[in-house]
Chains A and B, each alone.
Chain A
Amino acid sequence: MRQRQGLIALAFLAPALVCLAVLRIVPAISAVVESFYTESLLRGGRVFTGLSNYTDLLGSKDFRQSVGVTLLFTVLVNPIQVMVSFLLAVLFTQKAAGSKLWRTLVILPIATPPAVSAVIWSVIYRPDGLGNGVLQRLGLPAQPFLTSPNQVLPSLIVLLSWIGVGYWMLFLIAGIQEVPVEVREAALLDGAGPWRRMISVILPLVRRPLAFVLVADTVSNLLVFAPVQILTKGGPNGNSNLLMYDVYNRAYAIGDIHVANAEVVILVVLTLAIVAGQFRLLRGDQ
């Protein structure tokens, strides 16, 4: 009986498992395998080269810069996005006039595809664009935004946060609404102020959704691609050359699919290491 149940369960799961294998696992294995080969355009033929694609990558200044830029980006963008999402979530769970409307406005950018958002922001960031128009009205000097090696990464972070913050906020709002009313009332009766209630009551109680948001946000930010492709092409001077874009560039613009495969393997390892580190930190607090 039990065995039959197992077979039925397997039959129901089969479509998902087949898709998982065909769409995810096979390409993943193929990427790892291909990363050990190289191919000459002039002579043709695929040759096994062991780790040479990896050593070439590690020896390349451009690749090392790309890793550096990606790490810097990760360290900056995730805390900013998680913190802003949390603050917005707290704000929009207050019973205040129009909070639902505001909430909708913050979530709205999710409905815009990243590519479209990037195009909109390209108009904002143009030297003669909306951004500098606003700065001028405020009496501030014009900024180079995407054309400056120092401002390009912060500019991308602002753009990506505009898209992402509303999305992550949704998870945290759900978490905050799960906090039992009695706990909040108890804190209120004990005379805790709004700041104290947020830090000492709500924050510890939404740690689970917060941990999810942190990890999922980190992974999604390691995969940022469209805005880089559309707005900066990795420049100026490689200062926005995030790994995912570099992988794409190597595979489809430069056309070296084998080195690109090696790079994607490195990106996965890096992602796993960062996420594992985050879990360790979160567990350490337990």
Chain B
Amino acid sequence: MRRNLFALPAVAVAAALLLAGCGGSSGGNGSGSTTADPGPETGTITFTGTDNAETYQPVIKAFEAKNPGIKVTYTQIPFDQFNATMQQRLSAKDTGIDVYTVDEPRVSQLAAKGFLTDLSDLDGKVKGSFTKAAYETNHFRDKLWSLPMWNSTQYLFYNKTALAKAKVTPPTADPQQRWTWEQVEAAGRKSMQAGGTKYGLFMEQPEAYYQLQPLAESLGGGSGITGDDALTPAIETDGWKKAMQWYGATFASGLSPRGIGGFQTGPVFSNGDVAFFVGGPWDLKIFGSSKIDWGVAPLPYFQGGKPVTPTGSWSLGINPASKQQGMARKFIEFATLDPAGNLATTSTTTIIPANLDAQKQYTPKMDAFSGAKTVGAAAITAYESEHTAVSRPVSVGYIQFEEVLGKAFADIRNGTNSDQRLQQATQQLNDAWKTIK
């Protein structure tokens, strides 16, 4: 019996460790916030987001120059862990976060959980300063919860050298002569045979709803969410099924690579290993340092379908648990509603400012981001924003939707039958949403 003595404490500690891992608070109560105490007028506020610290240095500097006595410190949480970490910290009413970046489709759920301060008194100002889509996605239950900071779109980047080698005429930047995915696939295969690239086509975020929604929407498959309360899955429509069959096949046939994810995708293009790459405005500058010659074209669509492009990006919101509401509000107003402040958020990372005045000054410059390579980017950006942009669905269940679909896309990419996997995802969504309703 003596032999076992050491075991009892070990087991007890193990049990306690396990339980402690998941104990704690039970989240917000869904009531939103009341008018909060503005707190002190000077001091240091913290700002949490996913981008590199350099991205926000210009806006923070400009803000601090304009508001003596207020300092802003920025904390980066990598994108892959951002949503989960924020969920954890906000539900624990962590006062260490004053301002944070909010992914637009998540506004509803964050607001419903009481993770955002009500900003409705700014409603009038916001209406005039941003597009209608941006204005609406930052609302939930007729209240304004966050201020749009950026906008985005997607482009088709192509490896000029490889296409020339494979004797393929590259796509043009003209949205009227947009390529179909079928054309991209054929040209990509030619490039693999004769152009010296390992792969034909690759998406920057191969398992993200943001990038894959346009595939299904192009075939008329819808956003994937339906119903009055936007809590009914609709990912087994013909459009979704066809889009996912095609998507799975691009990996099965070797046109696109499996097993490369996160932030390892961009280098596949900039190293010259793939003929076509789907990426965002940020890539216009990132790829500028690549040794290969490349160009930019509008996002393709399916033959017989319609062109659809993603839109939306990060907004800024305030943590209701923050004890410095006044300073936090000053900062987010400066970074979004003030055109100069909003422009400053886009001076390091190339992303489209959401403020319309800032956008007018910004878009024309996009053509020159990487010399001759990015010619046409400005016109594409303006065209997509007006004609083809489709927002991600506004639903209080969006967070679950994105998580469940992200796993489904990953499995489809790895070779799982797409029809069955979409059916399984529908079941998983019904389970996950049951607790929300």
Contacts and interface: CB of A to CB of B under 8 A. Distances in A.
Residues of B in contact with A, size category: 35 or more
B26 A258 contact: yes
Most chain A CB within 10 A, of B18, B112, B257, is at B18
B26 A27 contact: no
Contact of B23 (A20, A261, A283): A261
Contacts of A24: 13, 16-17, 19-20
A114 interface: no
Interface in A184-225: 208, 211-212, 215-216, 219, 222-223
A172 interface: no
A272 B198 contact: no
B131 interface: no
A84 interface: no
B277 to A, nearest CB: 16
Nearest to B6: A212
A28 B16 contact: yes
Residues of A in contact with B, size category: 35 or more
B345 to A, nearest CB: 27
Given A128-B198, A128-B257, A219-B10, A41 B30 contact: yes
Given A125-B259, A144-B258, A264 B407 contact: no
Interface in B180-198: 198
B267 to A, nearest CB: 12
Contacts of B229: 42
A148 B252 CA distance: 12
A248 B84 contact: yes
A267 B432 CA distance: 20
A31 B19 contact: yes
**Chain B interface mostly helix, strand, loop or mixed?**
helix
Interface stretch (A3-11, A66-74, A162-170, A228-236): A228-236
A63 to B, nearest CB: 10
B410 A235 contact: yes
A5 B249 CA distance: 75
B83 interface: yes
Nearest to A126: B259
B14 interface: yes
A216 B11 CA distance: 9
A20 to B, nearest CB: 8
A211 B410 CA distance: 40
Given A236-B410, A254-B403, A268-B18, A37 B257 contact: no
Contacts of A219: 10-11, 14
A26 B298 CA distance: 56
Contact of B414 (A148, A208, A265, A267): A148
Contacts of A60: 431
Contacts of B87: 252-253, 255
B14 A256 contact: no
Given A42-B30, A42-B112, A45-B29, A247 B436 contact: no
27 contacts: A24-B19, A24-B20, A27-B20, A27-B23, A28-B19, A39-B27, A41-B435, A42-B112, A42-B437, A45-B30, A125-B259, A126-B259, A144-B258, A147-B258, A215-B11, A223-B18, A235-B407, A236-B416, A252-B85, A254-B400, A256-B435, A257-B91, A258-B26, A259-B435, A268-B15, A268-B18, A283-B4
Given A249-B403, A275-B7, 13 more contacts: A34-B26, A41-B112, A42-B30, A45-B29, A125-B259, A147-B415, A208-B3, A219-B14, A235-B414, A255-B87, A255-B400, A271-B18, A272-B11
